[in-house]
Amino acid sequence: MKSLLLTIFLQATFIYSHSQVVDKKAVDDRVKLIDTTTDKSQTRLYVINGIPFSEQDSIKIDSTLKSYDTKYLVDVNFVTCRQMNFPHCNGDIVIILFAYNQKNKTKRHLLKKVRQSFTDHYVSFSQHIFSDAKDPVLYIDNKLIHHTETKEKIKLLKFNRVYFIDFNDKPVSELHYGQNAKNGLVNIWTVSK
């Protein structure tokens, strides 16, 4: 549960504030706000786009984080030793994912899956969300797409413009994403024209 809360909090903080600098101190400050139970004597492992860094590698962590544009931040997650349930756990793990140019096969698969998930039909822009809506929340390049436009935007999205797709079909925070959050969240980053 704490992991989910941290993810929601960090996404809301980082994704929508492009002026925010993402560095090790910013990540640590946010982890401290959420996690008060961690044994401070244990070291943390930072994993940035699959590359592990020791907590002592602050300069490398900062350098790597600063090499990415904050608009491409997909997710920051925090997993404690207790959650991993490893008998000889050496420390908690902070997982940071930035959008990257996915393989074409992956993009094709995800784009097909995303297109199939948008099935609601709205008549006008002012129409409210159905109480039994099936569409997830859609962001394209960190911009929320109005629920009445999602199906059309996805349909018009050209495969060669897709850079990265993050498709979460599990419910996300209604507080942050609105009523359709119960159907999941789709984030798509496109290649600049």
Please say which residue of 98, 121, 153 terminates a domain. Answer: 98
The confidence score (pLDDT) of residue 49 equals 94
Same domain, 92 and 139: no
Yes or no: say if 68 and 22 are a contact pair by the CB < 8 Å rule.
Answer: yes
Same domain, 23 and 38: yes
The confidence score (pLDDT) of residue 39 equals 58
Buried b (16+ CB within 10 A) or exposed e, 86-116: eeeeebbbbbbbbbeebeeeebeebbeebee
Same domain, 138 and 181: yes
List average pLDDT for each run of 10 residues in the chain, which is 193 residues long: 46 46 80 61 84 92 91 84 70 88 95 95 82 92 93 93 94 89 95 76
pTM for the whole structure: 0.74
Same domain, 135 and 166: yes
Same domain, 8 and 77: yes
Same domain, 93 and 11: yes
The confidence score (pLDDT) of residue 129 equals 80
Same domain, 126 and 41: no
Same domain, 173 and 130: yes
Same domain, 88 and 9: yes
Please say which residue of 83, 98, 113 terminates a domain. Answer: 98
Instruction: Residue 46: name the closest of 92, 111, 104 by CA.
Output: 92
Structural domain total, the chain: 2
Same domain, 28 and 91: yes
- Owning domain of residue 114: 104-190
Please say which residue of 50, 78, 98 terminates a domain. Answer: 98
Q: Is 30 helix (H, G, I), strand (E, B) or coil?
A: helix
The confidence score (pLDDT) of residue 152 equals 93
The confidence score (pLDDT) of residue 23 equals 85
The confidence score (pLDDT) of residue 19 equals 43
Same domain, 54 and 87: yes
Same domain, 56 and 123: no
First and final C-alpha spacing in the chain? 40
